[in-house]
């Protein structure tokens, strides 16, 4: 891929990002930050290539270090997002849900 194709992808992705992010409901702005954090760790791709590189021990060592850092973020970011989103499940309201249902089923 030449530089211009890459720049085109980048520019269009910025516009996609602009519209997608404005559509995010303000109530979910914190999960938005934690999930963007997790996906920006796709930088792990570069870290993997570096850690498998040969010929320069320092380069592969730095790569492995970056794999550890990015993995903290990937696992941490996605699981903390999942934890938060689980709290936003539609709640059954204890006050307005009386008991007859339970009696009927048994």
Partner 1 sequence: MNLNHAILPSWALLAYLASGVLFILSLRGLSSPNSARVGNRYGIIGMVIAIITTLLTQAPIPPGDWWPRPGPHDLVTLAKILAAIAIGGAIGTITARRIAMTDMPQLVAAFHSLVGLAAVLVGWAAYLNPATFAIIGADGLIDPLSRVEMGLGIAIGAITFSGSLIAFAKLNGNMSGAPILLPLRHVINLGTVAAILGLIGWFTQDQQHWVIAAITAAAFLIGFLLIIPIGGADMPVVVSMLNSYSGWAAAAMGFTLHNTAMIITGALVGSSGAILSYIMCKAMNRSFISVIAGGFGAEAGSGGEEARTDRPWKRGSAEDAAFLLSEAEQVIIIPGYGMAVAQAQHVLREMADRLKAEGVRVKYAIHPVAGRMPGHMNVLLAEANVPYEDVFELEDINSEFAQTDVAFIIGANDVVNPAAKTDPSSPIYGMPVFDVEKAKTIMFIKRSMGGVGYAGVDNDVFYMDQTMMLLADAKKMVEDIVKALQH
Q: Which is nearer to partner 1, 27 or 105 (CB)?
A: 27
Q: How far is the CB of 19 from partner 1 (least distance, A)?
A: 9
Q: Which is nearer to partner 1, 26 or 106 (CB)?
A: 26
Q: Which is nearer to partner 1, 2 or 103 (CB)?
A: 2
Q: How far is the CB of 8 from partner 1 (least distance, A)?
A: 10
Alpha-carbon distance 36 to 85, whole Å? 14
**Sequence-separated (6 or more) residues with CB below 8 Å from residue 8:** none
Buried b (16+ CB within 10 A) or exposed e, 31-61: beebbebbeebeebeebeebbeeeeeeeebe
């Amino acid at each position: 891929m030449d530089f211009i194709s890459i720049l085109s992808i980048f520019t269009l992705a910025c516009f996609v990002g602009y519209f997608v992010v404005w559509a995010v409901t303000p109530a979910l702005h914190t999960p938005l930050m934690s999930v963007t954090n997790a996906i920006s760790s796709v930088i792990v791709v570069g870290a993997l290539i570096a850690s498998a590189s040969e010929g320069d021990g320092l380069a592969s060592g730095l790569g492995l270090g970056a794999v550890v850092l990015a993995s903290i973020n990937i696992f941490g970011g996605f699981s903390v997002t999942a934890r938060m989103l689980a709290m936003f499940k539609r709640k059954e309201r204890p006050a307005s849900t009386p008991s007859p249902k339970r009696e009927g089923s048994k």
